[in-house]
Amino acid sequence: MTSWEQLLERARPQASPLRDEMEQYARDFHVPIMDVEGIETLKTLLRLQKPKRLLEIGSAIGYSALQIAEALPDVHITTIERDDERYERACAFIERSDANDRITVHHADALEFELSSDERFDALFIDAAKGQYQRFFEKYEPYVQPGGIIYCDNMFMHGELFTPLEDIKRRRRTMIRNLKQFVDWLIAHESYDVSFLNVGDGIAIAQKKDKK
Ligand code: SAH
Ligand code: MG
């Protein structure tokens, strides 16, 4: 063993042609799916948490949803994707897995989508437009049970979270400003215990406190 990447690769579950094909598709068409370190860590956290129902915002081609469903045999996943092409791809890939009957993909903008009011989730995974995280969080956190956990991907944005705004490219500035504000807001949130993992592109973990 000569590198961290090699160790990660060796520790993954057995080879999966479908997983390989999705990773290749993501490389070929520049779809920003989680990297190996990020997805394996998220799967580990979820195996410890054992959620029965998980809501994902931002399915892309269904890679993380499928990885999670295959890692947790009891979980049911609801996932939302607004992009036409990616939604179609997600459905087509998921259809090919045995886990397909535990994943529901909705084709919608998550900021406009309406869940039925009695739906509840043990886990929420936010991985969509990075400038909108606070809006996703505020809209969907009421559906998370007390004790439930909200995971957010790409918190570091390849280091841009820690870069002064004036050094960020102009067209990305609003997004990064929003992300910085979201981090401050989340840390100050009184109903959640919050921590950050320096894995993948940065993962935030916020656990909803039980009501006293
Ligand atoms: N979770 C996926 C990657 C998601 S990439 C994985 O790791 O495999 C982010 C996705 O969020 C993109 O496909 C983008 O189209 C989608 N997205 C961004 N904003 C959205 C919104 N408001 N509603 C629904 N999907 C959104
Ligand atoms: Mg991501």
Domain ranges in the chain are 36-208
**CA 3 to centroid of ligand 1, rounded, Å:** 31
Ligand 1: nearest atom to the Cα of 62: 8
- Strands across the sheet with 144-152, in order? 103-107, 76-81, 53-57, 121-126, 144-152, 203-208, 192-197
Q: Which CATH architecture has domain 36-208?
A: 3-Layer(aba) Sandwich (3.40)
Sort residue 60 into left (φ over 0), alpha (ψ -120 to 50) or beta: left
Query: Among residues of the chain, what percentage have pLDDT more than 70?
Result: 100
Closest residue by Cα to atom 15, ligand 1, is 83
Q: Can you tell me the mean pLDDT for 156-168?
A: 95
Return the percentage of the chain with pLDDT > 90, whole number.
92
Q: Length of the chain in residues, anyone?
A: 212
- Cα 162 to middle of ligand 1, angstroms: 23
* Tens digit of each residue's pLDDT (9 = 90 or more) over 70-91: 999 999 999 999 999 999 999 9
Q: Are 53 and 78 in contact (CB under 8 A)?
A: yes
Ligand 1 pocket: which residues have CB below 6 Å?
A: 32-34, 58, 60, 63-64, 80-83, 86, 109-111, 127-129
What is the band of 56 on the pLDDT scale with cuts at 50, 70, 90?
very high
